[in-house]
Structures are given as structure tokens and as C-alpha cells.
Amino acid sequence: MNQSIQHLIGDSDQHIPPIQNTFNTYNTKFDPLIDQGLKGNEQYAPTYWVATAGTPPEDDGPLLGDIDADIVIIGGGFTGLSTALTLAEKFGTAPLVLEANRTAWGCTSRNGGQGQNASGRLYRSQWIDKWGLDTAKRLDAEIREGFDYFKELVSGIDCDAQDGGHLYIAHRAKKLAFLEHENKVMREAFGYQTRILSREQLHDEFVADQEAAGALFEPDGVGVHPLKLAFGYLKRARAAGAKVHTSTPVLNWETHNGIHYLQTPYGVVKAKRVAVATGGYTPNGLHPSLSGKIMPILSNSIVTRPLTAQELKEAGLNSTTFITDTRTLRHYYRLLPDGSVQCGSRSALTGADANNPAHLERLKEGLYRKFPRLRGIPIAYSWWGWVDVSHDMMPRIVQPNPDETIYYAIGYGGNGVSFSAMAGHRLAERIMGIQRPQFELPIYQSPLPSHLFRPFRRLGQALLYRWYYLKDEML
């Protein structure tokens, strides 16, 4: 056993370092593929969501001293909080959430707030190609139930919800055939009331996106203020009996005789069951079951200052329905309730290069191509964050080894705002030993696949980005 863990669990009078009264500076260069872990106790990234969410609700602060726990959840974002909420409300347990920094510090406070009826990066037509129509239909039923569960949670939380559906924009005319095919599949195979919009219909009914050749409209879609939503999860989970300890990173994890020993800066947690919900911020080397299973991808995001009514009219921004385009390195964008415009897309390859101004300029130009009137409108917020992309582009909510009491929900690929609610709910059920027919589906049945060439992932990513650019913009 690690000597530091042995010392802490064997000495009831151990010295507890003083708690810092201020948060550490936000580390702009953190990189999950390189860094061994989060230093903990960091400030939030300077996002629009952080600036507009109001005062964070009370949490349980750093965990001080040693403690025994039945269920520990590592990660205090959407998934971790949803898991804690279900465990506390539905099963009457008192789960312990360990968050390295502040509540919803990672993916949850850095995304675009687009709650889609989806999960992972694969389209429904690809589900059919990969698993067959029957499995695809059962997976669709699960994702749809998850979206309904998400909407139920959103309805009880003040999170600036915008229930306007989702627009999938053809950024080039050649992409219209792809959208028409997806529309046919969604209508005929799954019964959705989707529809194809011409460029003129899109401009008249929604937004005058100047790149758009047309669009696919999905009625299912709810835009949210993600941090306000997470704060709602936090308050509800704690009210039901969950404990959420912030500034409590897991520094070391060992398992002996079926008991997990989680070393934190101020003590050791002895846990019977551990669930991991750390998304794109999963520390390198946290646990062997997660080693090499996620390809963290950086995504940039910007928000303009609020536009006047005249500026909105001139820009052709007539709807708050949120939008993604058909690029492989897609743009996602929306009009926010206060008249600001948010836009995000992929960014740097490494944490070291994340704050290179070239990435911000590239994203701004992408927004201006769509809405030329926004050129010259000040950018009020700019940030970036890591997205948890699995190697087969689909998430997993699993117990990877039936002989170990370890569970995880991870790999949403940028589509986790809504499905993370259901993923946390299902993860809680799995922890409690509930059996469901849905758990025969691929996202529940198998662990995350490993990457065959893990040491060369960044080189492969660089080559893929060049190919994606050519395919998206040139070919």
C-alpha cells in the first residue's frame, strides 16, 4: 500500500494542512493527456455561464480527515450530481461527491448549453449501420426517455430554458443530401417530426445564416444555462442527503480486499463503491480502467455582448433555437436570452497551445461568416474546455469489471448536456444493482474501447484535423 495512504489511515491524529481561504489561479494549460492530475481548489474558467449564474449555492467544502463511505462519486459536474441526486432521492443513500475544484468546474460550466435528444457523436443512421435497426430503435427509445428525464429536471430549475428545438445547418450545398437522408431515417425509422428547410425557409423562420444552404429542424431541443442547471442539481442532491465536497481532488487510488482507498489532500476515504464522472477532465492515471479510454478534445467558445433589437434584426437573428452545422469540426451557436450570441467550435490540440490568440480569431471568423453583421460587435467572453470523446464516438455507463465495485459514465463527445442527466440516473441504478433490459444496449454493456496507438494520439489528431478541414471547406 502507498506509504502516504498507510500513514493517513493508521494515524488518527494526523496533521491536517491548513485550508486555503482563496482559490488557486485557473490553470489555462491543463492537459488531461499530459498532466497527472488536477491541482485542486482552482477558480472557475472565465465563462459567460460563471459570470451570469449568480452566487454558487452552498456545498460541503473540502473533506477534512479520514472517513468511511458506502458510495463515492468522483466528479461534481452534470453526471456526478445527477448520480448523487438519484442515489439520495430514489434509493435513500448518502453518496459522497469528491470534486477537485468547484462545483461544475469542468465540462459542465464550459459547454454551449445545448440539450439535444442525442448522445455521443454518431447519428441515428450510423446506429443502424453499426448495430442494426432493432438495436438502434431500442437505443433511440432510451435516449428519448433520457431527454424526457432531462426536460423534467429542467422544468423544476430556473436555468433560462429555451425550448425551441434544434437546427442542423448544411454549411455547404453538398451537405443537403446528407441532411435529407438523416431526415428520412428519423421520420421513417424512428417516427420523429423532423423537416428539411430550404435556405429561404431557414432565413424566414429562424436565422439568416449566410453560410447555410438549408437545414434539418428537430423539434426536440432545449437550450439551458448549464451552470444554473448544475446548481439546481446540487441543491436538490444535498437536500436529499448527498454530500458534495469541493476542493477535494483524488490524489491516489488503491484497492485492497475490495475496499477503495482514495487519498485526498486532507485525508483518506475508504469506499465500498466508487463511480467516476469526470468527463474530459479525467486525470491521467486516475485508474487503470480509464487509462487510454478517452481522447480529450479542446473546444473554444465565445459570447458577444448583448445585441440591441436593431442589431439582432440586421444580423437576421430571429430565433433562440440552438444550432450546429455539418462540419466535422462543427460550429455550435445560439442566441441567448439576454441578446448575446454564443458560438463554439474545436480549438487547439494541446493545453500548452490553448490560449494562442489564433484559435480565438479562427472562431470569430467562423461566426462572422455566418452573421456578417456581428463583425465589430465586441466579444465579452472567451474560454475553452476539454470534451470527452470516446474512440468509438459513443458514451459508456458501465461497471467495466463485474468483480470490482467501480463504475463510470463518460464519453459523451460533446452531446452530454441532456443525456448526462439520464446517464447519472442509470449509473446510480447500476451502483445499486438494479437490472434493466436497457442495460443490454451497447452503451451499457461494454467498457470504453482502448486506442491502439495511445502514445501517438496527438499526431493522429493533427493529421485528422487537416483532413477534416479539407473535407469540410475544400473538397
Please write the tens of the pLDDT for every residue from 206-215: 999 999 999 9
Q: Tabulate helix, strand, coil % of the chain (nearest 5).
A: 35, 20, 40
Element (H, E) at 176: helix 176-188
Torsion of CA 432, 436, 441, 447, to 10 degrees: 20
Tell me the sheet residues that pair with 345.
Answer: 300
Give per-residue pLDDT as tens, 53-104.
999 999 999 999 999 999 999 999 999 999 999 999 999 999 999 999 999 9
Are 110 and 257 in contact by the 8 Å Cβ rule? The answer is no
> Among 76, 48, 81, which Cα is nearest to 246's?
76
pLDDT bracket for residue 4 (50, 70, 90): low
For residue 19, pLDDT over 80 is answered with no
Pairwise CA distance, residues 212 & 215, whole Å = 7
Cβ density class 52-85: b for 16+ within 10 Å, e for less: bbeebeebeebbeebbebebbbbbbbbbbbbbbb
Residue of 189, 26, 218, 31 lying closest to 109 (CA atoms)? 26
Alpha carbons 166 and 194: distance in angstroms, whole number: 10
Burial 3-27 (b: 16+ CB within 10 A, else e): eebeebbeeeeeeeeeeeeebeeee
**Which position has the higher pLDDT, 329 or 380?**
380
For range 146-175, the mean pLDDT? 98
| pLDDT greater at residue 1 or residue 35 | 35
Give the chain's end-to-end CA distance (angstroms, integer): 56
The amino acid at 202: L
Residue percentage of the chain with pLDDT more than 70: 95
Q: Rounded mean pLDDT of 33-55?
A: 93
pLDDT score of 141 more than 50: yes
Q: Are β-strands 166-170 and 214-218 bridged in parallel, bridged antiparallel, or unpaired? A: antiparallel
Give CATH for domain 161-223+295-388+460-474.
Answer: 3.30.9.10
What whole-number distance in Å separates Cα of residue 464 and Cα of residue 449? 19
Q: Count CA atoms closer than 13 A to 316's CA, side-chain side.
A: 20
Residue 38 pLDDT exceeds 90: no
State how far the Cα of 104 lies from the Cα of 210, in Å rounded to an integer: 35
The helix/strand/coil state of 425 is: helix
Q: Are strands 221-223 and 114-116 parallel, antiparallel or unpaired?
A: antiparallel
Q: Helix (H, G, I), strand (E, B), or coil: what is residue 291?
A: coil
Q: What is the per-residue pLDDT for 145?
A: 98
Residue 22 has pLDDT above 90, yes or no: no
Whether 25 has a pLDDT exceeding 80, the answer reads yes
Q: Is the dihedral of CA 180, 181, 185, 186 positive or negative?
A: negative
What is the pLDDT averaged over residues 351-357? 95
Residue 244 CA to residue 59 CA, distance in Å, equals 6
pLDDT 10s digits, 417-438: 999 999 999 999 999 999 999 9
Indicate the DSSP class of residue 379: E
In order of 39, 49, 97, 384, the CA distances from 369 in angstroms are 39, 25, 43, 21
Ordered by start, the domain boundaries in the chain are 161-223+295-388+460-474
pLDDT, tens digit, 9 for 90 and up, residues 298-307: 999 999 999 9
Q: Which range, of 153-157, 271-275, 371-375, 450-454, averages the lowest pLDDT?
A: 450-454
> Alpha-carbon Rg of the chain, whole angstroms?
22
Phi, psi for 378 (deg, rounded to 5): -60, 140
Non-local CB neighbours of 79 within 8 Å, separated by 6+ positions: 277, 279, 409, 410, 416, 420, 423, 424, 427
User: Which tens digit of pLDDT belongs to each residue from 217-271?
Assistant: 999 999 999 999 999 999 999 999 999 999 999 999 999 999 999 999 999 999 9
Q: Is the pLDDT of residue 8 over 50?
A: no
Between 145-149, 282-286, 419-423, the lowest mean confidence (pLDDT) is in: 282-286
Nearest-10 Cα torsion for 388, 391, 396, 398 = -120
For residue 29, pLDDT beyond 60: yes
Mean pLDDT of the chain: 94
pLDDT score, position 284: 82
Is residue 470 predicted with pLDDT exceeding 90? Answer: yes
In this prediction, residue 453 carries a pLDDT of 60
Q: What angle do CA 326, 330, 333 make, to 5 degrees?
A: 100
Q: What is the DSSP letter of 158?
A: -
Q: What is the pLDDT of residue 454?
A: 63
Give 343's contacts (C-beta < 8 A, 6+ positions apart): 301, 302, 303, 331, 332, 333, 363, 366, 367
* pTM check: above 0.75: yes
List, as one string, the DSSP characters of 94-143.
Answer: --EEE-SSSTT-SGGGTS--EEES--SS--HHHHHHHH-HHHHHHHHHHH
What does the block give as the cell for 472? 469540410
